[in-house]
Amino acid sequence: FCERRVRRIVPSMLVAIGLTIIAASFILSLEAMTRLGHSAASSLLFAANIYFFNTSNYFAAETASQPLVHLWSLGVEAQFYVLWPLMVLGMLKILPMARAWIIIAVLGVISLASSVYLASHYATAAYYLIPSRLFEFLLGAGIFWLPTLKADENGKSIADSCLLGGLVMIGL
């Protein structure tokens, strides 16, 4: 999965960064080019979210003039794809699967709560940083792994129960 993702995203990212730098060299000031260079370097390291968190307010008007600001999301995504396997493998070495999933679910709830809190108190941190975004990735990972969970004694799978619950919530 990660290899396919890298093969699909990195070439496009490199082209976008390269063309942006070329075009910007004709229109930006030296100071703005320096900032662009920093954002390009952080993007190449998949840390653009951290760079933009430290240097700008996403919700401020001047953020629109940062040509690579959209690459922040690739930083969050890459950071998750590094942390997730380490977190799961580490927990599975010391805990049974059921307890590991409980801890992951608790982390998701904590992340959601931090997102809600940060959104109203530190909106830029909520937007750019992984602690307030982790629940989104954990939810996706949980949905991905649902079909592998075993059926209960009546032969009903956990995935089927979750599907039904999801449809009920959509209906509400």
CA angle centred on 76, ends 145 and 138, rounded to 5°: 25
Q: What is the reported pTM?
A: 0.77
Q: Residue 52: what are its φ and ψ, rounded to 5°?
A: -70, -35
Per-residue pLDDT of the chain in tens (172 residues, 90 and over written 9): 778 888 899 999 999 999 999 999 999 999 999 999 999 999 999 999 999 999 988 788 777 778 999 999 999 999 988 888 888 888 889 988 878 888 888 999 999 999 999 999 999 999 999 999 998 888 887 777 766 666 556 656 666 666 666 676 676 5
pLDDT of residue 157: 62
Question: With left for phi above 0 and alpha for psi between -120 and 50, is residue 149 left, alpha or beta?
Answer: beta
